[in-house]
Amino acid sequence: MKVKTKALSAVKHLIMILLCLVVVVPFYMVFINSFKSRPEAARMSLSLPTEWVFSNYTEVIKKGKLVRGFLNSLTYAGVSTFIGVMGSAMASFVMSRRRTRINNFLYYFVLCGLFFPVNYVTLVKVLSVFQLTNTKAGIIITFTSAMIPFCVFTIRNFISSVPVEMDEAAVIDGAGPLSLFFKVIMPMLKPTVVTCFILQFMSVWSDFLTPLYLSSKSSLAPMTMAVYQFFGKNQQYWNYVFADIILTCIPVIIVYLLGQKYIIGGLTAGAVKE
Amino acid sequence: MKKKKIYPMYFLIIPIVLYVVFFLLPSILGIAYSFTDWNSRSMDSVKFVGLDNYIEIFTSDKNYISGILNTLKFTVVSNIVKLIPALFLAILLSEKLKGKGIYRTLLYMPSILPFVIIGIIFTSVLNYNNGLLNIVLEALHLDFAKQKWLSELSVVWKSIYGVDAWRGIGYVMTIFIAGLSTIPRSYYEAAQIDGANFWQRLRYITIPMLSSAVMINLVFGITYGLKVFDIVYVLTKGGPGHATEVITTYSYQLYSNGQYGLSTALNTVLLVVTAVIGVFVVKKMSKQEVQQ
């Protein structure tokens, strides 16, 4: 019996290690080849570089317009997520506390957006009416609008668990709606708001379709777009492409490692409900 | 207490207005424009053409139908390919196993990276001459398994499913693990005493108790599958030929060609499909809420 369980756990470890290798080896390949010279990187082998070429990185930052891409991505993800999450939190608060017929309708009405695809062709037209085509504001508004259904869904569920007595006590102490929300409710919502913020920040950061439709000017391109365009122009220079990939991944991996607790918690909140 | 005063409606204005104007309105306008000949040259003089665009989609020799079918096929297959292995992995990683935290973190990692990046990485990994996959196959003396992964008609879809699973399995698995953690151990102990084997425990305890995790994975998976764009676009651009074209890639292509009316018609087809599924799911969720 004991031998059997030991053998079984060895098999389990073997499976997991093999799978982890499948995940890690491509990353390792990209990483190690980003330090090679052009002909060596084109062979894409797993061996260490014969000569470490660190200049790939400085070169790619210049050629790939990565600083601009990084700042654009940061602006889009930061601003749209901030407005989206705060706005959704306020709306969810009222929708959850005042369950009138209109509010319930609005809730399910917004929820439909979880499924609908965005129609980018007509979106461009709508943006042009507001003179927002090819502007940063237009891209930010698009991202904000697209994240509202998810945020409202997640945050409203959470608010139900915040006791109403909190509101009553605050109101008796003379708080108005704004100070009630920002001083009393918002601190209680921190876990779910942070989760929403991180998840949406990362999904805006990763998004590719929106800038593809909305930014014909390369000065508006976020990092994903910059990498893709760079890849299109430099397919023969795998050393640069790999360095570019590493630089684009670093911010997301940092956010992931810092917010891991919240990400997993947020993802799984729905799964453990009931 | 006056509810109207403490929970004012103006809290709703920003999200609702943004949602309606920049999310819903384009969809509705899209339906309207799908009955017109709107294109890059007709900027202000758009003509009503009835069902012409839909007739074009469903009868022309441009294979839009295969794009629609590919989308549906992708939605079904990619979910099966991810959900079933992810369930077994989740079960494996819920049991006592040293280092399972590291395994979980590593397996989840690909799903945080942008699709564009993953697409480019795999353009390299699946390269015929120097790509990692073929090199590994060669080293294992499995030369016969070498393929032109992204340009051979018979394997290109398998490559896409493979890359998609590589990215997505960790995510699905994480949700399953959370679901599994809520099932009381005593259920399994009782089943074990009654002599239930692994498959019986899976069939009669694990799967029924996991229903809400399965539901979440299915909802995310289905909406993702129907809207898939990035991975296909970066890996194959819809090629070879039009073999891996899906609704969204066709729609983008038509948009780039200036055939806006046709593009929105294709989007409207997608909208109808997702709406049918979405309404079904929202109804189910609102029913659950009433029960609570």
The pLDDT tens digits of the residues spanning B3-22 come to: 777 888 888 899 999 999 99
CATH number of B64-244: 1.10.10.60, 1.10.101.10, 3.40.50.2020, 1.10.3720.10? 1.10.3720.10
Kindly list the residues from chain A whose CB atom is less than 8 angstroms away from the CB atom of residue B89.
Answer: 19
Q: Domain segments of chain A: what residues?
A: 2-55, 64-233
Task: Give every CB contact of residue B92 below 8 A, 6+ residues apart in sequence.
Answer: A12, A15, A16
CB pairs under 8 A between A and B: 269
Q: Domain segments of chain B: what residues?
A: 64-244
Name which of B1, B16, B23 to mutate to probe chain A: the one with the most chain A Cβ atoms within 10 A of its Cβ.
B23
- What CATH superfamily classification does A64-233 receive? MetI-like (1.10.3720.10)
Neighbours of B253 (CB within 10 A): 18
Task: Give every CB contact of residue B235 below 8 A, 6+ residues apart in sequence.
Answer: B119, B122, B123, B126, B150, B159, B160, B163, B244
**How far apart (Å, rounded) are the C-alpha atoms in residues B77 and B70?**
10
Mean pLDDT score across all residues of chain A: 86
Can you give the pTM of this predicted structure? 0.87
The pLDDT tens digits of the residues spanning B165-180 come to: 999 999 899 888 888 8
- Please classify residue A52 by burial: count the beta carbons closer than 10 Å to its beta carbon, then call 0-12 exposed, 13-18 middle and 19+ buried: exposed
* DSSP letter, residue B112: G
Of the candidates A112, A107, A145, the one whose C-alpha atom is nearest the C-alpha of residue A126 is A145
Whether residue B267 and residue A119 make contact (CB cut-off 8 A), yes or no, is: yes
Element spanning B56, H or E: helix B52-59
Q: Tell me how long chain A is.
A: 274
Report the residue from A42, A145, A202 with minimal CB separation from B19: A145
The model's confidence at residue B139, banded by pLDDT at 50, 70 and 90, is confident
**How far apart (Å, rounded) are the C-alpha atoms in residues B291 and B285?**
10
**How far apart (Å, rounded) are the C-alpha atoms in residues B38 and B32?**
11
Whether residue B7 and residue A12 make contact (CB cut-off 8 A), yes or no, is: no
- ipTM comes to 0.85
Kindly list the residues from chain B whose CB atom is less than 8 angstroms away from the CB atom of residue A111.
Answer: 282, 285
**Alpha carbon separation from B292 to A149, B112, B138, B147, B288 (Å, rounded):** 22, 33, 57, 53, 6
Q: Which of A30-34, A50-54, A221-225, B24-28 has the lowest mean pLDDT?
A: A50-54
Each as own residue / partner, the long-range contacts of residues B130-138 (CB below 8 Å, 24 or more positions apart, any chain) are: B130/A42, B130/A43, B130/A44, B130/A45, B131/A44, B132/A25, B132/A26, B132/A29, B132/A44, B132/A46, B135/A44, B135/A45
The pLDDT tens digits of the residues spanning A57-71 come to: 888 888 888 889 999
Q: Which residue type occupies B249?
A: T
pLDDT at residue A126, as a whole number: 92
The pLDDT tens digits of the residues spanning B226-253 come to: 999 999 999 998 878 888 999 999 999 9
